């Protein structure tokens, strides 16, 4: 312990280890603490490394659909006329085979339709002649308009 008299100096405590030293033996560290020689640490060089900020802006933003409901529940045979990407779901039990006709008249390139079947019923859904689903199995399907015709992008049977 450094409790002896030294003219112009005083006792001070290291703010890291808590030992008592003369104030002249303590140094101010980059953290702002007054610390002894054993506790003093230089600031790490990576604290001074600067990275150029990354541009995270998107090149374009797709306009929003006028439809307030993004998911439309469908029953029975339905002709889908698309003027943007939409989501259709069959939640009720099917009582007959369903045919979905995909219209090309109002469709634009890269329009996508997502179709969910969560309802029961031992009937199939024909999606625009692209695929006929297995009866009674819930599924998710996605079709995309390529500018001239609809193509099946994804088909997954749920719960298998």
pLDDT tens digits, 45-69? 888 888 888 888 888 777 665 555 5
Is pLDDT at 98 greater than 70 in this prediction? Answer: yes
Same domain, 75 and 151: yes
Secondary structure string (H, E, C) spanning 18-56: CCEEEHHHCEECCCCCEECCCCCCCCCHHHHCCCCCCCC
> Does the residue 59 lie in any domain?
no
Give residue 143's domain range: 71-157
Number of domains forming the structure of the chain: 2
Same domain, 146 and 85: yes
By DSSP bridging, strand 78-80 and strand 34-35 are unpaired
- CATH code, domain carrying 83: 2.60.120
Closest to 91 in 3D by CA, of 123, 125, 119: 119
> Does the residue 54 lie in any domain?
no
> Does the residue 65 lie in any domain?
no
**DSSP label of 55:** -
Is pLDDT at 82 greater than 80 in this prediction? Answer: no
Task: Identify the burial level of 134 via C-beta atoms within 10 angstroms of its C-beta, where 0-12 means exposed, 13-18 middle and 19 or more buried.
Answer: exposed
User: Is the pTM for the entire model greater than 0.85?
Assistant: no
Same domain, 149 and 86: yes
């Amino acid at each position: 312990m450094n409790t002896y008299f030294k003219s112009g100096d005083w006792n001070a405590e290291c703010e890291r280890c808590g030992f008592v030293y003369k104030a002249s033996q303590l140094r101010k560290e980059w953290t702002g603490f007054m610390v002894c020689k054993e506790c003093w640490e230089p600031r790490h060089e990576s604290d001074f490394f600067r990275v150029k900020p990354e541009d995270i802006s998107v090149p374009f933003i797709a306009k929003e659909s006028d439809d307030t409901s993004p998911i439309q529940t469908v029953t029975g045979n339905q002709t889908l006329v698309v003027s943007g990407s939409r989501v259709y779901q069959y939640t009720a039990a099917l009582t007959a085979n369903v045919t979905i006709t995909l219209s090309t008249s109002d469709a634009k390139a890269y329009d996508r339709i997502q179709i969910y079947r969560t309802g029961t019923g031992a009937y199939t859904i024909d999606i625009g002649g692209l695929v006929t689903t297995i009866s009674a199995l819930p599924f998710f399907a996605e079709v995309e308009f390529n500018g001239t015709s609809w193509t099946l992008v994804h088909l997954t049977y749920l719960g298998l």
